[in-house]
Amino acid sequence: MSLATTMIALFLQILITCFIFTTEASSPHGFTIDLIQRRSNSSSSRVSSDTQLGSPYANTVFDDTTYLMRLHIGTPPFEIRAVLDTGSNLVWTQCLPCTNCYDQYAPIFDPSKSSTFKEKRCHGHSCPCDIVYADGSYTKGTLATETVTIHSTSGELFVMPKTIIGCSHNSSGFKSPSSSGIVGLNWGSLSLVTQMGGEYPGFVSYCFSGKGTSKINFGGNANIAGDGVVSTTMFMTTAKPGFYYLNLDAVSVGDTRIETLGTPFHALEGNIVIDSGTTYTFLPESYCNLVREAVEKVVKADRVVDTSMLCYNSDTIEIFPVITMHFSGGADLVLEKYNMYVESEGGGLFCMAVICGNSKQEAIFGNRAQNNFLVSYDSSSLLVSFKPTDCSALWS
């Protein structure tokens, strides 16, 4: 599989069709947990120890794809590791019996061994919950209530009884055996942050590192302040409720500013989703081509033409210009070259980590572009805030 095909395959636009319920949870005063960086899909060795996967109290093996959150479900608590995803509305994991499950390194959750598992009923039958991905991957199962326990880095436990989760019995097409599911963190009614409730509903922040340990904060610990903080309004759309939409006003390539105003990409109430579960940044094709052309005018190297991405043969990332994302309200994010360009596994080839999508693909601000920013979501004030931060050193 080519580098371009591999990167494009990482984009998963999620459609969730589930019944909606509400639940209660104790109020978090604020807590922080570690994230596990997922190992690359290209790794051929089977992960066989917790040290390789990463520990909640230690540095993790570097990877540039997605981030895993460790939590426990059931009574007695059963550990799962799932993709942290602000573009999803549900916590789900693979469950026994599995009629068709993808391979995962960790044991699969067995609901029959949990005294607090209770399957949801809809009109006398199990409540179905199907998640379908654009590339054909899917997970199918039922909704249930279960106790979810989160271990903070301070050692304290945050217990959420009767939390609605998805129990998957049929999943296919997933290529991350380090993960057993997804932790939905958008502002939909079934997301983890919404079901926390309490004093800080929908208040979460994280700091993604390209190396070492990354963190996610809930409740009071999610507040960010100080020099360098910039904020932008987030919007909710009726077409895709729950997604965190931002307004991207322009992209600067070096000193060249490319406005969205005057293009089909321009919007007043959200034109791009900020998503922790998607690796790269996606822009509409017509606008994306303008950004690419600006990059091409700067780079003096041999372009690789047999790829849909903008790639060059080079031994250094320094051939590329700095890119700045200008969000509404003056939230100007000057991105490191690592955020916007990626080196092939074998070296000697660098590609722009921005995918030019077709008209049906959502514009997405992915997690690689968010690396080394402390990113805060505050659904009460409808703001997303960014603070440039060395995330690997923040809690070291």
Catalytically active residues are: 85, 275
Of 292, 390, 391, whose CA–CA distance to 341 is shortest? 292
Instruction: Pinpoint the alpha helices (H) of the chain.
Output: 3-9, 50-53, 192-196, 285-298, 337-340, 367-370, 391-394
- Contact call for residues 122 and 212 (beta carbons, < 8 A): no
As a whole number of angstroms, the distance between CA 92 and CA 144 comes to 10
Give me the residue label for tokens 């998503």: 275
With a CB cutoff of 8 Å and minimum separation 6, the contacts of 339 are 323, 353, 368, 369, 370, 371, 372
> Residue 330: what residue type?
G
- Contact call for residues 83 and 179 (beta carbons, < 8 A): yes
As a whole number of angstroms, the distance between CA 236 and CA 239 comes to 9
> Residue 3: what residue type?
L
As a whole number of angstroms, the distance between CA 384 and CA 205 comes to 9
Residues 8-41: b if buried by 16+ CB within 10 A, e if exposed? bebbbbbebebeeeebebeebebbbbbbbbbbeb
DSSP assignment of 209-273, as one string?
-SSS-EEEEEGGGG---STT-EEEE-B--SSSTT--EE-EEEEEETTEEEESTTSTT--SS--EE
- Contact call for residues 64 and 208 (beta carbons, < 8 A): no
With a CB cutoff of 8 Å and minimum separation 6, the contacts of 291 are 251, 253, 258, 283, 323, 354
Q: Indicate the pairing of strand 373-378 with strand 383-388.
A: antiparallel
302 DSSP β-pair partners: 313
